């Protein structure tokens, strides 16, 4: 075999070997591809990175979650620029102790020119939040809580971008725990959109925006837990929105908004344990309670309240049964100020007020708020339930005067009467078989006090006619109006008649 033939045969052998290997490799690749199942990009990544989970998140669920996430981002973008931090300084001055006669002065002389008896200034800082709600030219108005600024001598507003501007108090109101401050700015700043808190329902999204513990521009999220809550510090008259949204010190005065970014409340207080932190019980003043207040502050620096002239009480189970209220919602006009708008209009003690201008009243606090928001001089329609009948009574509202509203001698009849139940029996040591009504409160200097009624008296008659229950009591009060009136009562073991009184 010559060299050329030998080379040719070797080339042929290598060519065939390579060709055979290529065919074999292609066949294996085809078989592997045809027998395998498709995998998602996430699974492929998991296979490439075996340390990752191979759980696949459903795309439809992701779209919903990401859509909600986008909504929350949009709310934050919308609301944050209109929520500010409010920094306050309260200044207190106090005389320093007089060091005359102590060893210091003997050895070193007086510390100052008058023996140490000088006035010293103490400065305490406060922190809260506020909402930009109005502007006029270069003046911007910030709504906040009264307790944030009530004692402040200096107020500074910090905008969302960190810029700080000196502010001044426009007006404040302790009963509603609301205040308004203003500041000047040549910049165009966003104004918060005020929503409709009457449309809020339990289960709605609730998003709090503020500056808890000084952490500026914080956003937390939860739901509306309840509406129409009463109570809280300071005895204010708001019916609060309750939320489980995280609210802490520094959130006071900040915004509670809905999923559209509209303000539905002003974050005001929390119920907490000894830690003082959030436990999911936050409360906000409904924004509808503040809308007219903002106008009052801007126009006059104070809130103008409408005055009806009644003393209100919640109707408990026994009162509801005694007056035949049959599940009606509202508040009991237990007493009426003589000469008040209520008295002039015809509202009488024992009337159960269910509506004002067609709007249902859910209890004492909502009714007080509704009356307070009525304008002096305005004629309002009150729906009352009296002795089994529903009446419409027109009343012309007057401006609230604190002196007139506390003149006890004009409060008729000047006592709170209640049906006897187990609680009252225990409180006044009454036999378990005794029925009727008891005077549970006597107002000092009132007609009831003047005629000699005492707390714990069991009222059994008016002007010689028998009082068996609360309905009899209020009926006889109405029937004897304008006449001399006296009460027959059981006090201890004795039956007594009081002095006579004429309205």
Listed in sequence order, the DSSP H helices in 123-240 are 146-149
Structure tokens at 454: 């005492």
Contact in structure between 448 and 434 (CB atoms under 8 Å): no
- What is residue 161's three-state secondary structure? coil
**Count of beta carbons in the 10 Å neighbourhood of residue 489:** 22
Q: Is 252 annotated as a binding residue?
A: yes
Tokens 């521009």 correspond to 217
Q: Is 135 annotated as a binding residue?
A: no
Q: How far apart are alpha carbons 254 and 284 in whole angstroms?
A: 9
Contact in structure between 414 and 477 (CB atoms under 8 Å): no
Find the catalytic residue in 197, 218, 246, 252. Answer: 252
Find the catalytic residue in 82, 129, 147, 296. Answer: 147
Q: Are strands 379-386 and 458-462 parallel, antiparallel or unpaired?
A: unpaired
Q: Is 244 annotated as a binding residue?
A: no
Query: Is 177 labeled as catalytic in the residue annotation?
Result: yes
Q: How far apart are alpha carbons 116 and 110 in whole angstroms?
A: 7
Tokens 């999204």 correspond to 205
Q: Is 54 annotated as a binding residue?
A: no
Q: Is 254 annotated as a binding residue?
A: no
Structure tokens at 401: 């005067």
Q: Residue 145: which residues within 8 A CB-CB, separation 6 or more?
A: 128, 177, 178, 179, 252, 253, 266, 268, 285
Find the catalytic residue in 82, 129, 173, 177. Answer: 177
Query: Is 147 labeled as catalytic in the residue annotation?
Result: yes
Contact in structure between 146 and 177 (CB atoms under 8 Å): yes
Q: How far apart are alpha carbons 459 and 469 in whole angstroms?
A: 9
Contact in structure between 86 and 149 (CB atoms under 8 Å): yes
Encode 10-48: b = buried (16+ Cβ within 10 Å), e = exposed. Answer: eeeeeeeeeeeeeeeeeeeeeeeeeeeeeeeeeeeebee
Residues labelled catalytic:
147, 177, 252
- Mark the binding-site residues for substrate, compressed into ranges: 147, 177, 250-252
């Amino acid at each position: 075999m010559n060299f050329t033939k030998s080379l040719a045969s070797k080339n042929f052998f290598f060519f065939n070997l390579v060709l055979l290997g290529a065919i074999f490799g292609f066949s294996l690749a085809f078989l592997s591809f045809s027998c395998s199942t498709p995998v998602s990009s996430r699974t492929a990544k998991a296979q490439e990175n075996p340390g990752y989970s191979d759980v696949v998140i459903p795309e439809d669920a992701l779209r919903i979650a990401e859509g909600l996430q986008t909504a929350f981002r949009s709310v934050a973008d919308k609301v944050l620029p209109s929520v500010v931090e409010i920094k306050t300084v309260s200044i207190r001055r106090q005389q320093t102790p007089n060091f005359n006669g102590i060893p210091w002065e003997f050895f070193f002389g007086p510390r100052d020119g008058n023996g140490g008896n000088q006035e010293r200034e103490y400065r305490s800082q406060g922190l809260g939040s506020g909402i930009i709600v109005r502007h006029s030219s270069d003046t911007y108005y910030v709504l906040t809580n009264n307790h944030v600024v009530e004692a402040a001598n200096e107020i500074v507003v910090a905008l969302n971008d960190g810029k700080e501007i000196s502010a001044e108090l426009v007006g404040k109101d302790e009963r509603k725990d609301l205040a308004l401050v203003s500041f000047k700015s040549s910049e165009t700043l966003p104004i918060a959109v005020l929503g409709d808190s009457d449309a809020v329902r339990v289960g709605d999204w609730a998003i709090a925006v503020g500056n808890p513990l000084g952490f500026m521009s914080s956003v937390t999220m939860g739901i509306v837990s309840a509406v129409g809550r009463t109570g809280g510090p300071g005895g204010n008259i708001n019916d609060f929105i309750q939320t489980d949204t995280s609210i802490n010190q520094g959130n006071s005065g900040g915004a509670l908004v809905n999923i559209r970014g509209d303000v539905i409340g002003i974050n005001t207080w929390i119920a907490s344990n000894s830690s003082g932190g959030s436990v999911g019980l936050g409360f906000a003043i409904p924004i509808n309670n503040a809308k007219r207040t903002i106008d009052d502050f801007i126009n006059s620096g104070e809130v103008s309240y409408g005055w009806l002239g009644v003393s209100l009480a919640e109707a408990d189970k026994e009162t509801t049964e005694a007056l035949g209220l049959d599940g009606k919602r509202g508040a009991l006009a237990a007493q009426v100020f003589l000469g008040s708008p209520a008295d002039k209009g015809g509202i009488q003690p024992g009337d159960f007020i269910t509506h004002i201008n067609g709007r249902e009243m859910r209890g004492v606090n909502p009714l007080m708020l509704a009356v307070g928001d009525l304008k002096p001089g305005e004629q309002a329609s009150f729906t009352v339930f009296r002795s089994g009948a529903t009446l419409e009574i027109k009343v012309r509202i007057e401006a609230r005067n604190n002196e007139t509203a506390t003149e006890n001698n004009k409060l008729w009849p000047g006592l709170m009467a209640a049906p006897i139940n187990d609680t009252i029996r225990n409180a006044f040591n009454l036999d378990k078989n005794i029925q009727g009504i008891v005077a549970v409160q006597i107002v000092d200097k009132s007609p009831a006090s003047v005629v000699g009624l005492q707390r714990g008296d069991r009222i059994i008659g008016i002007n010689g006619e028998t009082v068996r229950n609360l309905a009899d009591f209020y009926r006889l009060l109405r029937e004897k109006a304008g006449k001399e009136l006296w009460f027959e009562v059981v006090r201890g073991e004795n039956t007594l008649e009081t002095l006579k009184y004429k309205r």
